[in-house]
């Protein structure tokens, strides 16, 4: 008879065990805020379909103090979301060479962040031009 | 000139299956010098304080991959980690997380070994060549596509760093998937179709959620997170094109 009795340790509370896991969970949680904000925008689309008065009502609702606080929170969370996902982006890409030299992870992350900033500025510019 | 002798406390997570219901901490006071690794500290315990403490080790120079353990809760090679970095505090050593403890600091590596064998970790030649035809040629850039992934020493630190493996041991796990990629990415290899059945399965590349800690703790710079995640695109393309490629839907 074997005396072996391998002991399996519990995974309870695993994500609190290491700061690295906490930042990973924070990155994942930001996706919930992205989904929540998509719901807000979808609600706007539905209101738009119901006519001008309904849409203006939705716009009015966005200017209430609670919604302003909500937007500030979402903005902060989105910044972390953008940074954390572009940080992991080099892991998701095949090894690339430019001019015979390997593209460094920092370059990939930096390019992604720069693209995000340019896209945000472009949207702000277009919206500013329209209104 | 000899270093002045200092004493550091090492807490070892003991587990003796014949007497312990569950693991227990035991503290040892170890005299050390600045050039001593954690492995040497544990060896001192076994040689002079308590011969019943069990652990694996071999090369003492970070190439055999035997002496991995949790050192203050971080997966590290104990031969490559120094006691002086923890002094004057104490340090805790524990068997690698997410793997069953066989005894004290020794983990049960059966699952890892079985998975390692299953991915055919060797080159399956794309074309059979006779000796007269000469060697399989490769450009430096073709070599660069797999070289870093070939540095794996099977130390399993990445498994101790991977919560997905801890939560679901069916997941093939970082090190083995990185090795799978190492062979698949080799221009001389033609075994991709055989290996991808495992890679594209739920327990394969998709079991990874890009935590990325495996790549942080790897003592050889393998970057398993990159090896795994760059294959998700191929897997997705394979999934959607299998219906339109001849014979693709059979798999």
Checking if the pLDDT of B30 tops 80, the result is yes
Please indicate whether, in this complex, the C-beta atoms of B23 and A9 are within 8 angstroms of each other: yes
Check: CB of residue B195 under 8 Å from CB of residue B204: no
By Cβ distance, the residue of A4, A17, A97 closest to B73 is: A17
B216 CB neighbours in chain A (<8 A) are: 20
Residues of A in contact with B230 (CB under 8 A): 91-95
pLDDT tens column, B182-236? 999 999 999 999 999 999 999 999 999 999 999 999 999 999 999 999 999 888 8
Report pLDDT for B2. Answer: 54
B57 belongs to a structural domain: yes
Q: At A88, which CATH number?
A: 1.20.1300.10
- Domain-embedded: residue A4: no
Contact (CB<8Å) A24/B167: no
Q: Tell me: the pLDDT tens digits for A31-45?
A: 999 999 999 999 999
B98 with B164, same domain? Answer: no
The Cα B222–Cα B73 span in angstroms is 21
Contacts of B233 in chain A (CB under 8 A): 92
Shortest Cα–Cα distance, B1 to chain A (Å): 40
Residue B241 domain-assigned (yes or no):
yes
Chain center to CA of B9: 27
Q: Look up the ipTM and state it.
A: 0.89
In a domain, A9, yes or no: no
Structural domains of chain B, count: 2
Number of CB pairs < 8 Å for A and B?
73
pLDDT at B247: 61
Residue B248: pLDDT over 60: no
Considering CB atoms only, which of A7, A15, A28 is closest to B15?
Answer: A7
Quote the CA–CA distance of B244 and B140 in Å, as a whole number: 35
Average pLDDT estimate for B164-171:
97
CB contact under 8 Å between B212 and A24, yes or no, is yes
Given B90, B107, B124, which residue is the final one in a domain? B107
Range of the domain at B241: 110-250
**What is the count of structural domains for chain A?**
1
**Cβ-contact B8, B86 below 8 angstroms:** yes
**Residues B98 and B124 occupy one common structural domain:** no
Residues B186 and A81: their CA atoms lie apart, in Å, by 35
Residue B1 pLDDT exceeds 50: no
Statement: residue B3 has pLDDT above 60: no
Residue B1 lies in a domain: no
How far apart, in Å, are the Cα atoms of A105 and each of A79, A85, B48, B205?
20, 13, 47, 21
Looking at the domain assignment, is residue A106 inside a domain? yes
Could you tell me the CATH number of the domain that includes residue B182?
A: 1.10.1060.10
In a domain, A1, yes or no: no
Say whether B32 sits in a helix, a strand or coil.
strand
Set of chain B residues whose Cβ sits within 8 Å of the Cβ of A97: 141, 144
User: pTM higher than 0.95 for the full model?
Assistant: no
Mean pLDDT of chain B, nearest integer = 94
Residue of B nearest to A8 (CA): B100
pLDDT, mean of residues B19-27: 97
b/e per residue, A14-44, with b = 16+ CB within 10 A? Answer: bbeebebbebbeebeebeebeeebeeeeeeb
**A116 within a domain of the structure (yes/no):** yes
- Predicted local distance difference test score (pLDDT) of residue B204: 95
């Amino acid at each position: 008879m074997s005396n072996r009795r391998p002991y399996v340790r519990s995974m309870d509370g695993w994500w609190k065990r290491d700061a690295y896991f906490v930042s990973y969970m924070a990155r994942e949680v930001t996706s919930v805020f992205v989904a929540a904000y998509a719901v807000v925008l979808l609600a706007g689309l539905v209101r738009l379909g119901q006519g001008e008065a309904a849409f203006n009502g939705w716009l009015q609702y966005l200017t209430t103090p609670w919604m302003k606080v909500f937007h500030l929170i979402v903005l902060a969370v989105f910044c972390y979301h953008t940074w954390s996902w572009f940080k992991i982006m080099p892991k998701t890409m095949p090894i690339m060479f430019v001019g015979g030299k390997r593209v460094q992870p920092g370059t990939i992350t930096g390019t992604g962040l720069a693209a995000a900033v340019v896209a945000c500025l472009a949207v702000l510019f277009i919206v500013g031009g329209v209104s | 000139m000899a270093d002045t002798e200092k004493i550091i406390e090492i807490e070892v997570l003991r587990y003796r299956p014949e007497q312990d219901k569950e693991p227990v901490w035991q503290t040892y006071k170890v005299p050390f010098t600045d050039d001593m690794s954690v492995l040497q500290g544990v060896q001192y315990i076994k040689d002079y304080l308590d011969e019943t403490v069990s652990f694996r080790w071999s090369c003492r120079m970070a190439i055999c991959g035997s002496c991995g353990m949790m050192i203050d809760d971080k997966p590290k090679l104990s031969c490559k980690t120094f006691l002086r970095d923890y002094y004057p505090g104490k340090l805790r050593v524990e068997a690698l997380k997410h793997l069953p403890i066989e005894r004290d600091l020794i983990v049960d590596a059966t699952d890892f070994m079985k998975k390692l064998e299953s991915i055919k970790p060797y080159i399956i030649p794309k074309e059979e060549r006779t000796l007269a035809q000469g060697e399989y040629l490769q450009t430096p850039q073709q070599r660069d596509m797999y070289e870093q992934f070939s540095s794996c020493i099977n130390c399993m630190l990445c498994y101790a760093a991977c919560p997905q493996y801890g939560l679901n041991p069916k997941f093939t796990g970082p090190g083995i998937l990185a090795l799978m990629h190492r062979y698949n990415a080799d221009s001389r290899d033609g075994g991709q179709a055989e290996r991808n059945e495992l890679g594209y399965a739920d327990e394969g590349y998709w079991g990874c959620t890009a935590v990325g800690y495996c790549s942080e703790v790897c003592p050889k710079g393998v970057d398993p997170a990159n090896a795994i995640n760059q294959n998700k695109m191929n897997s997705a393309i394979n999934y959607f094109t299998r219906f339109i490629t001849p014979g693709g839907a059979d798999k």
